[in-house]
Amino acid sequence: LTVWVDRGRAWTLVADARVEEAIEVLINGGTHAQSGEHYVWACFCFHDVVRLGRPGLVIEQIDSLPPMPGADFVDNMRHHAQALHKGDSGALADVAERFASYGAVLLASEAWAQTGELLVENDPSRAARCVLLSLASQSRCEGSDTPALRSRPSLISARESQVAVVVAQGLSSPQIAEDQFISVRTVDNHLSSVYRKLGISSREELR
């Protein structure tokens, strides 16, 4: 219970832009949980520091946690820390995919955003794909606003993301135009922009 109170207090501090204080609370909470052999709760606290973009502060603690057979979600938090710490975009994308498969769409959105950050300079097309996946996942978390999401590269606009998602679901341009109160030409312009940024050329590739 104490750990969950600490996590709640930490994210309140994050909302107040007091990230360094939040990180201190999370590390203290994780260390306390680890000392009491509450390893899952420790991992949650340390993973929150990873979500805040500071894996180097907790990578040793996370790596020192004992194996937890069957705890796939916890293992993925550990992989998240390792991938971000190493700057391994491929491993980080795998982490995002697994979070999405578990239904943890906010964590998936954050991991996709972090992957986009790693790729933005050297592979803008792949970065744009990650940004689109992050935006699509975030759209399922109403009101979500975390540091990882705020630092996501601005490669695709929210409107382009909205159009891309419904196109991928099979809607036609006229259907989208009617639903979003915009012209068919505007829909197609957004779609063309998305294609160019992703390095693709068809609705099938977008799906």
**Mean pLDDT taken over the chain:** 94
27 pLDDT tier (thresholds 50, 70, 90): very high
List pLDDT tens digits, range 91-118: 999 999 999 999 999 999 999 999 999 9
Q: Would you state the pLDDT for residue 143?
A: 86
**What local confidence, expressed as pLDDT, does residue 135 receive?**
92
Q: Inter-axis angle of helices 158-168 and 173-180, to 10 degrees?
A: 130
* Amino acid type, 155: L
For residue 181, how many other CB atoms are within 10 A of its CB?
7
pLDDT score for 3: 73
pLDDT exceeds 80 at position 4: no
Closest CA to 162 of 138, 185, 146, 144: 138
Nearest CA to 151 out of 54, 59, 58 is that of 54
| pLDDT at 158 (0 to 100) | 85
Task: Tell me what pLDDT residue 124 has.
Answer: 93
Q: Report the distance separating Cα 153 and Cα 11, nearest Å.
A: 23
- In this model, does residue 18 exceed pLDDT 90? yes
Instruction: Give me the amino acid identity at 204.
Output: E
Of 132, 143, 126, 82, nearest in space to 108 by CA: 132
Q: Which of 100, 188, 181, 114 is nearest to 151 (CA)?
A: 114
Q: Enumerate long-range contacts of 94-98, CB under 8 Å, 24 or more apart.
A: 96/130, 96/133, 98/72
The number of CA neighbours under 13 Å toward the Cβ of 153 is 24
Q: What is the pLDDT of residue 1?
A: 62
- Fill in the amino acid letter for 129: R
- Average confidence (pLDDT) over 33-37: 94
Taking 3-state DSSP, the helix, strand and coil percentages for the chain, each rounded to the nearest 5, stand at 75, 0, 25
What gap in Å lies between CA 205 and CA 58, rounded to an integer?
39
**Can you give the pLDDT at residue 119?**
97
pLDDT in tens, 43-85: 999 999 999 999 999 999 999 999 888 999 999 999 999 999 9
- The rounded distance, in Å, linking the Cα atoms of 58 and 10 is 15
**pLDDT interval class at 6 (50, 70, 90):** confident
The whole model's pTM is what? 0.89
